[in-house]
């Protein structure tokens, strides 16, 4: 009996001791959990209240617009349409960019095409009747002249550094609305684009943007955040929203200079036409090449014909500069002058051949 009593007393004190030990440890664990929660809340508050870096915030664009706006003009046109019973006078609208202080203005050729009267309206409200200095159907550019001086001009940027994702703005006479020009904002969506018009004319190396280019914006500037012209608004795809195109300033500048100096653009000609060689076409024709320009037409007694090229040949390069497609070919070709001799490498029945072609002047 005594042994049972001693056992009970021993067990009782053991349990009491363990209970005290647990109670002494629990507050420490709870305290740690409470401290961790407080730290997390503090961190959370810091994250929520911390301001984003100013570099990620888009600045106001008003200063940029005010910088370029004096060099942007509105253009209104009238053209006579002759009918069977009566004639009608149609009106049109577009935009332009002042490129010389003494009144030279660049716009799109299609803005002033067939116009019998062209009016240029400056931002200060003054209007002038303009004359056409020169047009270039291939690039869809035209240069006008008004009798004015000391005009504000726009600065054209080198677009070699332009990147997809860069912010751009358009300024122009959208929808021929009265008042100040319309400004829209977007990004560079793509570079070196090629489009084909309803008249089957192709335009190469265009800048694609989602900045709205509405009717009347044609001929106006596409500008960067430095207030420099990176493109001349050219066209929109009416079947799709947010798809507009501009002629790059780097491509436009020599054309504008040539139009001002000569009234036309002097381009070299090889006397041939072609289309891109696709892998599917190469496979169908049994060619080992996968890219190049297939010769589809030769001008009789033209430079390429005289040099020995034939329809079906695939042009590979000009002076060792690859010509994987028509756009690249024309870019390379138009970097030469009339009278230059170029070495053309081409493939005929999977044999690599060369020819010396003397370039002649292209006529509109």
Residues annotated as part of the active site: 110, 140, 218
- d(C-alpha 308, C-alpha 306), whole Å: 5
The whole-angstrom separation of Cα 18 and Cα 7 is 17
From CA 300, how far away is CA 201, in angstroms rounded?
23
Q: Nearest to residue 246, comparing CAs of 228, 229, 258?
A: 229
Tally of helices (H runs) and strands (E runs) in the chain = 7, 21
Q: Which residues contact 103 (CB under 8 A, 6 or more apart)?
A: 128, 145, 146, 147, 148, 149, 151
Burial (CB count <10 Å: 0-12, 13-18, 19+), residue 305:
middle
* DSSP H stretches of helix in 263-310: 279-285, 303-307
Burial of 301 (0-12, 13-18, 19+ CB in 10 A): exposed
239-245 own/partner pairs: CB under 8 Å, 24+ apart: 242/186, 242/189, 242/210, 242/212, 243/189, 243/208, 243/210, 244/170, 244/208, 244/209, 244/210, 244/211, 244/212, 244/213, 245/193, 245/195, 245/203, 245/206, 245/207, 245/208, 245/209, 245/213
Query: For residues 176 and 75, what is the distance between their CA atoms, to the nearest angstrom?
Result: 9
């Amino acid at each position: 009996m005594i042994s049972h009593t001693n056992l009970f007393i021993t067990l009782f004190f053991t349990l009491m001791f363990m209970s005290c030990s647990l109670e002494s440890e629990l507050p420490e664990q709870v305290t740690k959990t409470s401290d961790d929660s407080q730290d997390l809340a503090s961190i959370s508050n810091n994250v929520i209240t911390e301001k984003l870096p100013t570099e990620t915030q888009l600045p106001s664009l008003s200063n940029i617009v005010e910088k370029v706006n004096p060099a942007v003009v509105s253009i209104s046109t009238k053209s006579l349409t002759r009918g069977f019973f009566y004639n009608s006078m149609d009106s049109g609208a577009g935009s332009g960019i002042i490129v010389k202080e003494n009144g030279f203005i660049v716009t799109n050729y299609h803005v002033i095409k067939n116009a019998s009267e062209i009016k240029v309206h400056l931002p200060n409200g003054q209007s002038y009747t303009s004359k056409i200095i020169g047009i270039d159907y291939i690039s869809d550019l035209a240069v006008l002249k008004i009798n004015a001086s000391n005009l504000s001009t726009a600065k054209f940027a080198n677009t070699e550094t332009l990147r997809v994702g860069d912010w751009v703005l358009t300024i122009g006479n959208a929808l021929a609305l009265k008042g100040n020009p319309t400004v829209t904002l977007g990004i560079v969506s793509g570079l070196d684009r090629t489009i084909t018009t309803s008249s089957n004319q192709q335009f190469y190396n265009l800048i694609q943007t989602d900045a709205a280019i509405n009717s009347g914006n044609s001929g106006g500037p596409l500008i960067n955040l430095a207030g420099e012209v990176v493109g001349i608004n050219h066209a929109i795809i009416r079947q799709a929203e947010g798809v507009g195109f501009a002629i790059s300033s780097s491509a436009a500048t020599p054309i504008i200079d040539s139009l001002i100096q000569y009234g036309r653009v002097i381009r070299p000609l090889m006397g041939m036409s072609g289309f891109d060689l696709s892998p599917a076409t190469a496979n169908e024709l049994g060619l080992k090449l996968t890219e190049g320009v297939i010769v589809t037409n030769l001008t009789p007694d033209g430079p390429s014909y005289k040099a020995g090229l034939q329809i079906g040949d695939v042009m590979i390069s000009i002076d060792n500069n690859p010509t994987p497609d028509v756009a690249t070919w024309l870019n390379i070709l138009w970097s030469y002058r009339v009278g230059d001799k170029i070495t053309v490498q081409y493939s005929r029945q999977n044999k690599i051949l060369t020819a010396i072609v003397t370039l002649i002047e292209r006529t509109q």
